[in-house]
Amino acid sequence: MRLPKLTRTQIERHLPILQWSKTYDRDTLTSDLVAAVIVTIMLIPQSLAYALLAGLPAEMGLYASILPLVAYAIFGTSRALAVGPVAVVSLMTAAAVGNLALQGTAEYAMAAITLAFISGVMLLVMGVFRLGFLANFLSHPVIAGFITASGVLIASSQLKHIIGVDAHGHTLITIWGDLFRNQDLANPYTLAIGLSSVAFLFWVRKGLKPLLLGLGLKPRMADILAKAGPVGAVAVTILVTWGFGLQDKGVKIVGDVPMGLPPLTMPSFSADLWSQLFMSAVLISIIGFVESVSVAQTLAAKKRQRIVPDQELVGLGASNIAAAVSGGYPVTGGFARSVVNFDAGAETPAAGAFTAVGILLAALLLTPLLFFLPKATLAATIIVAVLSLVDFSILQKTWTYSKVDFAAVAATIFLTLGFGVEMGVSAGVILSIGLFLYKTSRPHVAEVGLVPGTQHFRNILRHDVETHPELVTLRIDESLYFANARFLEDYIYNRIACDEPIKHVVLMCSAVNEIDMSALESLEAINHRLIDLGIKLHLTEVKGPVMDRLKRSHFLDALSGEVFLAQYDAVVKLTRPHPVAAQ
């Protein structure tokens, strides 16, 4: 028995670090370091904020931004992807874990860690078995609708921190219900910090860069300073809270954040917990993978690089397992952060590893400074970040282009807002697949005739074409398979149930990419029925792969008519002396 020999290429395929590290030099190092500094500045407040969104202690956000980034640097294929906590996955984590344990308990944190582990194992398994194609079943409009609805949900869920009241729930109605019920309890100091942070961050986004450029700064520098806006808001609100003792006036603060290395953690292996988290892990894995791979592909294309989706699964799987063993929670490649990483000049995944060092230093040194950080500030950074994801124009676009896509998007948005993220995305996927199947089960069938002066055949209802009373040519615009086999039978029986002197029915198969066993049986039934009626059945333009298969059945022996290579040949042979012009 010969064992498969692992060549260097094969090893490199599974450990992309071996490829890019070969050409790593001082220039690449400088670029990666600069990008890492910028991303670190952006990631510190984000990681704390997204942990808050997930209902977890702030430090778990930091932990999720250290080891997972190193794991991705070893196994990932994208050179610009910035892995770590992201908004949508944090929200999904809160939704999944919130059903099982109370926020703030050890069980809650353990469930989040276990969720990261299960999701990591799933991603790894999907990568090994090359199941990345599964993500293709999330249609673009469903993703767009889901991201938009999630943005609205996330922003709504953070309003409680801005106005300083309690609110729970994972749907728009429960969140806003709590907000309205508790609005009298709003804390004015919290509200002042929250609203001014939101206003400041929006201004940083829109107004700061032009201002800095106007002051004569170089574009690169202006860009970096603009990205540092959230850090500025964090610093100022910490000082204000500490200076005025606002924590005693009802302003909720982050409080004690443990200082030091990420802890070594073990996920739970309780079968009960695994089965409760299983579906959530499936959804988080797929949504995380889709978000990550889309941004990675977009950025790679800009530099004519390629990413390997199945290896990306391995990279993200390793990252999530790394998160689970180091006190983190589910992570993936973030959209905004990856774009910043790319723009800041990241050349290799090493930039991610350097970012990890930056966050590690923050965890070791800066955590005491975060004691007085108001939660309202973090909520403000989340709101400003996610509102840029909200884009309802997909509804209008799909409405114009395709009602089926519109239905899938509208359902996704409505169900995500009304029943939470898991229901929303599952329904979107199931509905878009269901509608696709429904369409293929009632295919478009065109009766065609010859475009005069050509050998080309088109729909008699749309074009001025030549036909012949003894010959009916039907072009079936769909593969023939079990779901439409009966439809085809009914269609043909109805068509020939007229008074015309039909002698030949020709099925033009240019759009038939597959004839499965059920459809074959239907064709046999049609053939027999037509023989009874003295009508011959012919096929034309049958494709190679379909013909190969028909030859393996008895259908061609029983067929009353012929199989023609081209529709034109069939018409020439079957309609002598001349085709008659259609009225």
State the residues that interact with a copy of itself by CB under 8 A. 133, 136-142, 301, 397-398, 400-402, 404-405, 432-433, 436-444, 446, 451, 454-456, 458-459, 462, 477-479, 481-487, 510-514, 516-518, 520-521, 529, 543-545, 549, 552-553, 565-566, 568
- Cis bond upstream, residue 57 (ω within 30): no
> Cα separation of 161 and 154, whole Å?
12
Q: Say if residues 268 and 262 touch (Cβ distance below 8 Å).
A: no
CB-based burial label for 548 (10 Å; 0-12, 13-18, 19+)? exposed
- Our CB check for a copy of itself shows the closer of 140 and 218 to be 140
- Our CB check for a copy of itself shows the closer of 5 and 393 to be 393
What is the residue type of 583?
Q
CB atoms near residue 103 (< 10 Å) = 14
- Our CB check for a copy of itself shows the closer of 249 and 442 to be 442
Tell me which residue has tokens 């469903």: 142
Minimal distance, residue 92 CB to a copy of itself, in Å = 21
> Cα separation of 418 and 430, whole Å?
17
Minimal distance, residue 78 CB to a copy of itself, in Å = 16
Minimal distance, residue 553 CB to a copy of itself, in Å = 5
> Cα separation of 247 and 388, whole Å?
31
Minimal distance, residue 539 CB to a copy of itself, in Å = 15
What is the residue type of 118?
I
What is the helix (H) or strand (E) element at residue 67, kind and residue range?
helix 67-75
For 561-567, the CB contacts below 8 A with 24+ separation are: 561/504, 561/506, 561/536, 561/537, 562/538, 563/538, 563/539, 564/538, 564/539, 564/540, 565/540, 565/541, 566/455, 566/540, 566/541, 567/448, 567/455, 567/457, 567/473, 567/506, 567/508, 567/510, 567/540, 567/541
What is the residue type of 504?
H
Minimal distance, residue 71 CB to a copy of itself, in Å = 25
- Our CB check for a copy of itself shows the closer of 159 and 572 to be 572
CA dihedral sign of residues 314, 320, 324, 327: positive
> Cα separation of 66 and 84, whole Å?
8
- Our CB check for a copy of itself shows the closer of 182 and 441 to be 441
- Our CB check for a copy of itself shows the closer of 255 and 545 to be 545
The DSSP secondary structure of 496-513, one letter per residue, reads HSSSS---EEEEE-TT--
Minimal distance, residue 278 CB to a copy of itself, in Å = 17
Minimal distance, residue 285 CB to a copy of itself, in Å = 18
Token duo for residue 49: 């904020």
- Our CB check for a copy of itself shows the closer of 280 and 522 to be 522
Minimal distance, residue 524 CB to a copy of itself, in Å = 11
- Our CB check for a copy of itself shows the closer of 270 and 513 to be 513
- Our CB check for a copy of itself shows the closer of 179 and 290 to be 290
- Our CB check for a copy of itself shows the closer of 199 and 558 to be 558
Minimal distance, residue 319 CB to a copy of itself, in Å = 22
Minimal distance, residue 398 CB to a copy of itself, in Å = 5
Pairing mode, strands 83-84 and 332-333: antiparallel
